[in-house]
A and B are shown apart, each in its own frame.
Chain A
Amino acid sequence: MKNELIKGIDAQIEDFGVKFFQVLNSEKLNLGSSSKIIELITNDPKAKKKVFKFISVLSNLETDTLLSEFHSRYLSEYKTVISASKLSIPFGKNPIKKSFDELAGNFFPVSNTKKISKFLKKDSVNYSSLNLNLIPENIISEKDSIAYVDKVIESIKNVKDFKSDKNLKIKKKSLIKDHKAGELTVNLTVNICGLYSKINQLDFDNSVNIISGRLEKILESALKEDVNITVTVCEVLDSNILLEVFKKVFFKSELDYKLPGIELSSNLKIAKKEIEKLIALSKEKQQQISIRLIKDYKNRNESDKLKLYTEKEDIDANFEKLSKYILDNSNVIYPVFSCLDIRNLAFVINYAITKGLSLKDYEFFFKYGEVNHFVNIFDSLGYFTRLSLPILDGFFTTKYLINVLNKISLNKFTRTDYFDESQIKELMKKPLFNGEINV
């Protein structure tokens, strides 16, 4: 019976694809003030290389002379798009940082949560609620980790400022009022690798204890400000430590925490087993858990300890298997799906329908800057969209910026252009799973 249901949704998935691309093609892509740069790097591979080279050295250009030198080396042909004078702040105490803010500010708010309100007001993305992604920047020492904890706590405190800002476009649709994630609840992603600079699998208990202690401090603040926390890791190989910390911190009996969240990636071969453990935990503690399912392409190769799917089709297929499993257990799990593949998202939507779930039973999660037009379309179709804003600073911004620009400049990646109906059929085909299943 179940198999028949899934077979039956294939046609609906294709229909969704057609509908989605109709809306997409009828709308002009809105990429905000960064559109010229995107246009340039999408259409001109030579320009793309040069822009990326320039961005990669930007954080190390200490003087205006150097900035000007590198600008003319890489961008002299493209100065109408990225001008040196706009990047340079001659009398500022920290010209590099200012330059960064100018450039990166086109794509996402940087530095801290205080800037978010201002940033969001000038933006045209429509979303249901927000996530702040506290990306740990260059955590090298314990001093950095302590600073990261402080930054997370400071960000939580700042959340109330923009939550209360009536000019923000956070949606207040009826859908949201009974939403499982809670009305307007802002989510915050905390990376446990940032909480402790010396994570050591062999020193497992000590690592778990130190991370847990720091995460507890963060949770105390989050509870006061009504902020949801989702925990994640830099390297999926630390997933056992992540799970242990998750269990230890979020399920303390004295803690009345509404929605503990955890992020898992579909390229991780043990993801299904991890979800099984989380479902068991949720049932045991009678506490709903939010699982954010993502696709991580960063770790393309298996390392000594890491068992990963490395082929896109396997990762896509596994994403759907895991989505189905999560939706099957949505009585105890609150599902959050994050990917840019319309086929996978259409599967989620249609499988949820076959399960009799409503739009308030799950949400979609999008990183700001990658596919803002997707967010607008999903929002216009009535789905709960959570927009994730990275909060970062300095050198790390370079990498993030290049990563985002690279993704959005690849038509292959977003797969949003040049689709006629036959191509949409192809795009919406079920991904074939070739990997090992029982790992």
Chain B
Amino acid sequence: MFDKVKCLDFSLESNRERLFGSIAKLEKSFLKKEINVYPLINGKRFKSKNIIKYYSPNRKNELLANIHLASEKHAKFCTQVAKKSFKSFKNTSINDRIQILNKVSELISQNRFDLIALLSFSSGKTLLQADKEINDSIDFIRYYLSVLKLETGSKTIDEKTKIVLKPIGVVATISSYDNSFSKPIGMITSSLLSGNAVIFKPSTKATLVGQYLVNLFYKSGVPKDVLSFLPGTGAEIGDFLVLNEDVNLISFAGSSFTGLKIKQKLSNKKLITDLSGNNFLIVDQTADFKTAINSIIDSAFNHSGQKASSINNLIIHHRIYDKFLSKLIEAVSDLKTGVSFKVGTDVGPVIDSKVYNDLLSKIDQFSSMGKIIYKSEVPETGLFVPIAIFENVNLKSDLWNLDFGAPFLAVTKVKDFNSAVSIVNDSKYGLLSAIMTESIKNINYAANNLDVGNLFINKSSNSFQVSVDCLAGLKQSEMSARLGTVEYFKLYSNQILVSKES
């Protein structure tokens, strides 16, 4: 359907040199000048009295940027600008919109090495993880462009009836920090291609990347009144956008807790959600150890376990429990936690000091809910949280039941595969599960009985590929439609039925 982009081949010296060059350049620029992030409305920067410091997750106390937080006044002005711009933008030709988004995709490709460096510096993703995210963002744009060709304008049902897709209006895009580039790219692309005006409010932990992203859209030709940027807190700006009547659609990606709160507040407004969950991985007695262990390492510790699709809980068949766990710990103990933009780092820092302090205190707190059997050594120079593995976990405890976004793994053993499925189904979340098995019977059983939106078989829960692994959650990890599908894209339009007498 569309040409997927390939990750960079870093076995080529030229690619490595370019990336190292981008890292060196970025490091210098952070040292040389003070970087500021401002609200951008109608193409104008707005200074704010409310400034927060954005520190490097990799090096404590190294200031990366000053974030000028938007106020309610900014937000109000922003909604007025967006509402006005929508009136003209909705009438732009589809070809013009396609051209703009094609340009965005081109610019991301052209700036790929700089973007990998920026993402790694600011979010703490390792370089390979950052490359994968940039890849996904290009794929999102290409995919939605290909979808648009199929789903644009009107669809004739019969000679008397047709469905017409119409833009909705002003879309508030509120996104999380776990995939701070690719997620908003997907959300904003869907909105703009559908003809909507967009107000983008990233997580305060992802504003640096957010500003870069918005500038890419501007450079590509997106009218500056059509896309605004509001760095601000959820309590102030998030709530304002949710309740403001000039905003017609809320597109939210983030925690299940916040997502459900937004849902309660909304009455006559459309909401698109992409919510996180507490995810599980089951290893049965027929599992290939190598596949299972590699999948667990990527599922649990990629981006320090902060991704919505990370797994927190591991369920192992009792027959292989001891042997498997000891092999897992052996492999985990080879992982190196450290500065995310250094080659050889497997696990980077967590996003900010608040999360860092909270997780460090949780390790002690959780030790009463399960026995710590492994805790990694980490440097103290950055926000590096140790990898912690717990066993004999109390299945009623917070350790087992909460989604806390950390490189922690809670482990339990089960007598058989069906019991493992029951444990997963007891969770209030239902985003995804992964199972490691060579048994067709167990695969079928899991597919028929697991109450999750996504089931990954013998692969990492973080191996998402646009248009292949279209995410959708159940229960408290609800999603409005599968991310990266035609259905998801269509949520950004109103579907009007036009019927006439012949």
Contact = CB atoms under 8 A, between A and B. Distances in A.
A143 B320 CA distance: 20
23 contacts: A56-B286, A57-B439, A60-B286, A138-B290, A140-B331, A141-B327, A141-B331, A144-B330, A201-B9, A201-B10, A201-B11, A202-B16, A202-B19, A202-B127, A202-B128, A204-B11, A204-B16, A206-B343, A206-B344, A238-B11, A240-B12, A241-B11, A305-B8
A140 B343 contact: no
Nearest to B440: A53
A57 B334 contact: no
Interface in B313-352: 319-320, 327, 330-331, 333-334, 343-344, 346
A15 interface: no
Nearest to B317: A60
Given A138-B290, A140-B331, A304 B10 contact: no
A439 B12 CA distance: 15
B135 interface: yes
B344 A305 contact: no
Contact of B438 (A56, A142, A241): A56
B5 to A, nearest CB: 8
Contacts of A60: 285-286, 319-320
Given A60-B320, A142-B334, A203-B343, A395 B289 contact: yes
Contacts of B16: 202, 204
Interface in A17-44: none
A261 to B, nearest CB: 21
Contacts of A140: 289-290, 293-294, 327, 330-331
Tell me if B's interface is mostly helix, strand, loop or mixed: loop
A62 B343 contact: no
A241 B11 CA distance: 7
A198 interface: yes
Given A202-B127, A202-B343, A304-B6, A141 B290 contact: no
Contacts of A200: 128, 343-344
A197 interface: yes
Contact of A305 (B6, B294, B319): B6
Interface in A225-271: 237-241
A240 B9 CA distance: 10
Interface in A156-208: 197-198, 200-204, 206
- From B11, B343, B439, name the one whose CB has the most chain A CB atoms within 10 angstroms: B11
A214 to B, nearest CB: 15
Query: Considering residues A62, A140, A202, A304, which has the most beta carbons from chain B within 10 angstroms of its beta carbon?
Result: A202
Contacts of B127: 202
A367 B438 CA distance: 26
Nearest to B329: A141
B497 interface: no
Interface string B114-153: 0000000000000110000001000000000000000000
A281 interface: no
A139 interface: yes
A241 to B, nearest CB: 6
B447 interface: no
B294 to A, nearest CB: 8
A145 to B, nearest CB: 9
A149 B12 CA distance: 27
Interface string B48-88: 00000000000000000000000000000000000000000
B159 to A, nearest CB: 44
B489 to A, nearest CB: 24
B7 interface: yes
Interface in A104-125: none
Contacts of A62: 319
The 8 A-B pairs at the shortest CB distance, nearest first, are namely A240-B11, A304-B7, A201-B10, A203-B343, A201-B11, A141-B330, A202-B10, A141-B331
Contacts of B346: 198
Contacts of B334: 141-142, 197-198
Interface in A43-61: 56-57, 60
Contacts of B289: 138, 140, 395
A206 B293 CA distance: 23
A323 to B, nearest CB: 26
Interface in B381-417: none
Contacts of A395: 288-289
Interface in B286-311: 286, 288-290, 293-294
A220 B320 CA distance: 39
Contacts of B19: 202
Contacts of B343: 200, 202-203, 206
A140 B334 CA distance: 10
B2 to A, nearest CB: 15
Contacts of A197: 331, 334
Nearest to A144: B330
A206 B343 CA distance: 9
A143 B10 CA distance: 26
A93 to B, nearest CB: 15
A240 B13 CA distance: 10
Given A138-B289, A202-B343, A203-B344, A304 B135 contact: yes
Nearest to A206: B344
Contacts of B11: 201, 204, 237-241
A239 B9 CA distance: 11
Given A138-B290, A197-B334, 4 more contacts: A140-B327, A201-B11, A204-B13, A237-B11
Interface in B1-30: 6-13, 16, 19
Contacts of B12: 240
A200 B286 CA distance: 29
Interface in A274-311: 304-305
A206 B344 CA distance: 8
A144 B294 CA distance: 14
A237 B320 CA distance: 32
Nearest to A60: B285
Contacts of A56: 286, 438
Nearest to B19: A202
B9 A305 contact: yes
B10 A139 contact: no
A201 B331 CA distance: 19
A60 B135 CA distance: 39
